[in-house]
């Protein structure tokens, strides 16, 4: 059996999420689909699941053209998908979840389903109590439930979409064993992940996506650095930035422990000096996001101390830290960065002269907005709503809204999804700020960006800092190895 994905394209706004993506996969092999977040993996999965409609291209199974215009079609065609978030219903029992969408009978055939369920569970050694509400299950168990359900539908293709994001190592072993067993039985398996070491461990071949395009395919095993290069782009810095004199310590974090969602961190010691740029390298979910958000105060730490300048930040909330000069720029620009339905002028008014004035001088704000639009080269007018701006211009607006007295800037993926011109512009801004004694901490999934602009790179893995490199000792291979969880 062969699944052919032929020249699939799909775009959102003016960005291609999938641009001429082609794959060909045979049954009996486990095929990896590797790429960072935003590389286009989940768009492809959603097209295969019938959730999104493709704009161009064809999907064939055994040379038969598939029409996947709804999930129902996809299920009928024999495609089963284990979604990143298991598609379960929390208040319902395991057995009811197993049943929903899988039967045509009027009365829920619980007895028959129970038999099938236990058969499948026995075969794959899943330990699930059919009567427990799913809300009490771990994510790993919810996956097992979903796998069991998918198998009951007797699919030909199984797609595992980022299945290991939230499960324990033991559960992961179990999952891998299941995947391998299925593959040996002749199932066509696609393993979608951004985790290099997992793809390397389980897949027979891999296709790497980067910025919506196929960056390359490899037979496995192959050197991990080659995969990293396909994922992150060129390994060597292409720009030289001028080194400048660093100042005293700006911020320290010690024994920091924090959890947000499924990401938890334990950072024993971190320091940044004035005028220093620290890049955080790490595969998505390795703790960079929680680290940045905990320092910014968007997420409260469980324990540890954070000191900024002479201020102890423990016990202060985000707003107090904002006043003390910390500025956080999230990756989700319209979700957390800006207010979609407000205009640029209104954004200016919102952050302008914090306490002093309760009455807004709209004329002044309008002029100020026009001024900032010119200064930050934003494509828009003072009356443009944030949602009408392109990603690059939204990012520029976030810069324009930064308090002038900010001295520590925390950025998540500062240039993700931006055109080259915007990305360069943003870094020129950041370099200027650095010259004004600002400390900058940023996370990125772009090697070129990390290696070009960081004075120092720290590498995160599983919530800890596992490596630290000064600019003169940057070693891309070592960084790549540490990111994937290996020792040097």
Residue 229 C-beta: closest distance to other proteins, Å: 35
Q: Is 388 in the site for other proteins (CB under 8 A)?
A: no
Which of 38, 337, 382, 476 touches other proteins (CB under 8 A)? Answer: 337
Nearer to other proteins, 166 or 199 (CB): 166
Which of 2, 122, 135, 303 touches other proteins (CB under 8 A)? Answer: 135
Residue 67 C-beta: closest distance to other proteins, Å: 14
Residue 447 C-beta: closest distance to other proteins, Å: 28
Cα 51 versus chain centre, distance: 20
Give the angle subtended at the CA of 474 by the CAs of 472 and 475, to the nearest 5°: 140
Residue 101 C-beta: closest distance to other proteins, Å: 3
Per-residue burial over 331-350, b if 16 or more Cβ lie within 10 Å, else e, is bebeeebbeeeebbbbbbbe
Q: Is 346 in the site for other proteins (CB under 8 A)?
A: yes
Residue 462 C-beta: closest distance to other proteins, Å: 27
Compute how many other C-beta atoms are within 10 angstroms of the C-beta atom of residue 211.
18
Integer Cα distance of 187 and 175 in angstroms: 15
Integer Cα distance of 66 and 55 in angstroms: 14
Instruction: Please report, as residue ranges, which positions from 145 to 204 form the binding site for other proteins (by CB under 8 A).
Output: none
Helical spans, DSSP H, in 125-257: 139-152, 169-184, 196-202, 224-232
Residue 374 C-beta: closest distance to other proteins, Å: 22
Question: Count residues contacting other proteins (CB under 8 A)?
Answer: 57
Binding-residue pattern over the window 390 to 429 for other proteins, x denoting contact by CB under 8 A:
-----------x----------------------------
Q: Is 330 in the site for other proteins (CB under 8 A)?
A: yes
Which of 177, 201, 334, 488 touches other proteins (CB under 8 A)? Answer: 334
Residue 343 C-beta: closest distance to other proteins, Å: 11
Nearer to other proteins, 242 or 356 (CB): 356
Nearer to other proteins, 161 or 448 (CB): 161
Note whether 306 and 478 are within 8 A (CB).
no
Integer Cα distance of 350 and 334 in angstroms: 16
Q: Is 55 in the site for other proteins (CB under 8 A)?
A: yes
Q: Rounded to 5 degrees, what are φ and ψ at 432?
A: -60, -45
Q: Is 78 in the site for other proteins (CB under 8 A)?
A: no
- What tokens does 301 get? 């730490």
- What tokens does 222 get? 């192959």
Tokens 């007895």 correspond to 111
Options 57-65, 220-228, 352-360, 415-423: segment touching other proteins (CB under 8 A): 352-360
What's the order of all strands across the beta sheet hosting 157-161?
79-82, 157-161, 188-193, 30-34, 205-210, 213-219
Q: Is 56 in the site for other proteins (CB under 8 A)?
A: no
Integer Cα distance of 347 and 394 in angstroms: 12
Q: Strand 188-193 and strand 79-82: pairing?
A: unpaired
Residues that bind other proteins (CB under 8 A): 49, 51, 55, 70-72, 75, 81, 83, 87-92, 96, 99-108, 132-133, 135-136, 298, 318-319, 322, 328, 330, 334-342, 346-347, 349-351, 354, 357-360, 362, 401
């Amino acid at each position: 059996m062969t699944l052919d994905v032929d020249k699939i394209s799909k775009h959102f706004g003016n960005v291609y999420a999938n641009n001429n993506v082609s794959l060909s996969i045979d049954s009996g092999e486990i095929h990896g689909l590797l790429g960072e977040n935003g590389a286009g993996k989940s768009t492809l999965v959603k097209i295969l699941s019938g959730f999104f409609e493709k704009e161009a291209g064809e999907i064939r199974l055994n040379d038969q053209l598939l029409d996947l215009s709804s999930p129902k079609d996809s299920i009928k065609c024999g495609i089963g998908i284990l979604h990143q978030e298991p598609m379960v219903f929390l208040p319902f029992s395991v057995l009811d979840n197993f049943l929903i969408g899988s039967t045509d009978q009027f009365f829920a055939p619980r007895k028959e389903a129970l038999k099938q369920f236990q058969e499948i569970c026995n075969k794959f050694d899943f330990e699930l109590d059919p009567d427990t509400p799913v809300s009490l299950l771990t994510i790993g168990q919810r996956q097992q439930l979903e796998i069991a359900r998918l198998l009951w539908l007797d699919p030909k293709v199984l797609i595992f979409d980022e299945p290991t994001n939230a499960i324990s190592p033991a559960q992961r072993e179990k999952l891998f064993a299941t995947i391998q067993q299925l593959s040996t039985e002749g199932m066509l398996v696609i393993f979608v992940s951004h985790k290099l070491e997992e793809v390397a461990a389980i897949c027979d071949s891999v296709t790497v996506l980067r910025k919506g395009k196929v960056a390359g395919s490899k037979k496995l095993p192959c050197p991990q650095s080659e995969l990293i290069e396909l994922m992150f782009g060129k390994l060597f810095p292409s720009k030289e930035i001028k080194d400048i004199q660093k100042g005293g310590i700006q911020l320290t974090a010690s024994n920091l422990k924090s959890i947000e969602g499924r990401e938890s961190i334990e950072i024993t010691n971190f320091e940044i000096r004035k005028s220093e740029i620290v890049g955080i390298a790490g595969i998505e979910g390795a703790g960079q996001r929680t680290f940045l958000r905990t320092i910014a105060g968007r997420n409260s730490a469980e324990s540890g101390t954070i000191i900024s300048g002479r201020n102890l930040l423990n016990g202060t909330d985000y707003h107090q830290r904002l006043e003390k000069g910390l500025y956080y720029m999230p990756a989700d620009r319209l979700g957390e960065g800006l207010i979609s339905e407000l205009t640029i002028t209104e954004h200016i008014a919102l952050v302008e002269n914090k306490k002093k004035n309760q009455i807004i001088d709209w004329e002044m704000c309008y002029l100020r907005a026009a001024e900032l639009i010119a200064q930050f080269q934003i494509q828009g007018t003072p009356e443009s709503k944030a949602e009408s701006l392109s990603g690059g211009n939204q990012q520029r607006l976030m810069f324009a809204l930064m308090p002038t007295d900010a001295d520590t800037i925390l950025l998540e993926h500062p240039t993700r999804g931006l055109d080259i011109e915007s990305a360069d512009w943003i870094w020129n801004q950041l370099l200027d700020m650095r010259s004004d004694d600002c400390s900058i901490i940023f996370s990125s999934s772009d090697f070129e960006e990390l290696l070009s602009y960081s004075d120092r790179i720290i590498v995160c893995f599983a919530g800890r800092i596992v490596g630290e490199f000064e600019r003169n000792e940057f070693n891309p291979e070592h960084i790549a190895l540490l990111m994937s969880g290996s020792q040097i």
